[in-house]
Amino acid sequence: MQKIGLKNKEQENTGKKKDSVFPRSSKVKVPPIKSQGIKTKLVPWIESLLPEDFSGVWIEPFMGTGVVAFNLAPDQALLCDSNPHLIHFYQAIAEGDITPEKVRTFLNKEGVLLLEKGEAHYYEVRERFNRTHQALDFLFLNRAGFNGMIRFNSKGEFNIPFCRKAHRYAQSYVTKIVNQTAEIERVLKARSFNFRSQDFVKSIAKAKASDIIYCDPPYIGRHVDFYNGWTETQEKQLFEALSRSPAQFILSTWHHNDFRENSYLQSLWHPFRIMTREHFYHVGGNVRNRNPMVEALVTSF
């Protein structure tokens, strides 16, 4: 197989100019929920595209960890995802059911049990979560599961194995998660964010001309799970929904890696502006699968 070089690819699809350097704004807020492919390092790049006078509703049909919205959204946001557990977790923070103090107490308690019982306790919590769907159990599993992965089987059950670190919830690690929760709590208290678990087409249909839609769907041809499966049909539905919308949009996707290209950028998304950046993703359980990948932003701006 011919390798596709990564060098000299950081340019728009015109091939004529490189993107500007990331703007250096305040420190990026990291949310308490982790995931592979989280956009923490790409927040400044996305921010560089936004108009300074934007005052509409920030809409995310694929909220994920929420890192982009929590850093860039203005006073109003509609944050949606097909994974109800993500929505439930952040809604619980917004409503005060989850607080930094509750997070500290819960993780300290479960951390002691994890240290005493080892991975058996992780699987007890996983079984409990798959029965009760408690938000704090979701947080525990997310931060103690293998490689920060979020994956559900066809029955909707969380099935990530243990990270094999019984000392995972040392005091410093708990404090880090508590501080992350507190940061997001401050954001949600200061702004009007609505959370909904719903289909992306329905979310996009809510947008008005004054709004901005940011889409970070599962990457076509990449890693998916039960809640975030992604097909060619859905990619085309997303293209059609964004093309019809009166709102401006930004779409995150992948451009190419060393071995293949995202053919949908040319076959589907070519009418819009396409920009690229090299980005390293810790994706996949096998370290050999964690390679540099050129990230793309597709935008109507």
Report the CATH number that the domain containing residue 59 is assigned in CATH: 3.40.50.150
- Both 209 and 281 in one domain: the answer is yes
- Both 64 and 205 in one domain: the answer is yes
Q: Which of 181, 205, 231 lies at the terminal end of a domain, its last residue?
A: 181
- Both 274 and 241 in one domain: the answer is yes
Question: Of 197, 211, 205, which Cα lies nearest the Cα of 91?
Answer: 197
Asked if residue 12 is part of any domain, the answer here is no
- Both 107 and 139 in one domain: the answer is yes
- Check: CB of residue 61 under 8 Å from CB of residue 19: no
- Both 126 and 170 in one domain: the answer is yes
- Give how far the C-alpha of residue 113 lies from the chain's centroid of Cα atoms, to the nearest Å: 29
DSSP string for residues in 110-124: HHHHHHHHTHHHHHH
- Both 75 and 150 in one domain: the answer is no
Asked if residue 35 is part of any domain, the answer here is no
Asked if residue 5 is part of any domain, the answer here is no
- Both 202 and 292 in one domain: the answer is yes
Q: What is the pLDDT of residue 2?
A: 35
Per-block mean pLDDT, blocks of 10 residues, the chain (301 long): 37 39 62 89 93 94 96 93 96 98 98 96 98 98 93 93 94 98 97 96 97 92 61 95 98 86 92 86 49 87 92
Q: What domain range includes position 171?
A: 100-181
Q: Which of 181, 215, 232 lies at the terminal end of a domain, its last residue?
A: 181
- Both 72 and 106 in one domain: the answer is no
The burial of 244, by beta-carbon neighbours within 10 Å (0-12 exposed, 13-18 middle, 19 or more buried), is given as exposed
Asked if residue 30 is part of any domain, the answer here is no
pTM of the model: 0.86
Residue 64, Ramachandran bin (φ over 0: left; ψ between -120 and 50: alpha; else beta): left
Distance CA 269, CA 261 (A): 14
Instruction: Give me 8's structure tokens.
Output: 């000299």
Asked if residue 266 is part of any domain, the answer here is yes
Q: Are strands 292-299 and 248-257 parallel, antiparallel or unpaired?
A: antiparallel
Q: What is the pLDDT of residue 228?
A: 60
82 to each of 6, 156, 198, 231, 251, how far by Cα in Å? Answer: 33, 12, 6, 15, 17
Q: What is the pLDDT of residue 291?
A: 60
Q: Which residues fall within 8 angstroms of residue 170, CB to CB, at 6 or more apart?
A: 111
Asked if residue 173 is part of any domain, the answer here is yes
Distance CA 14, CA 275 (A): 9
Number of structural domains the chain divides into: 2
Q: Are strands 76-80 and 192-196 parallel, antiparallel or unpaired?
A: parallel
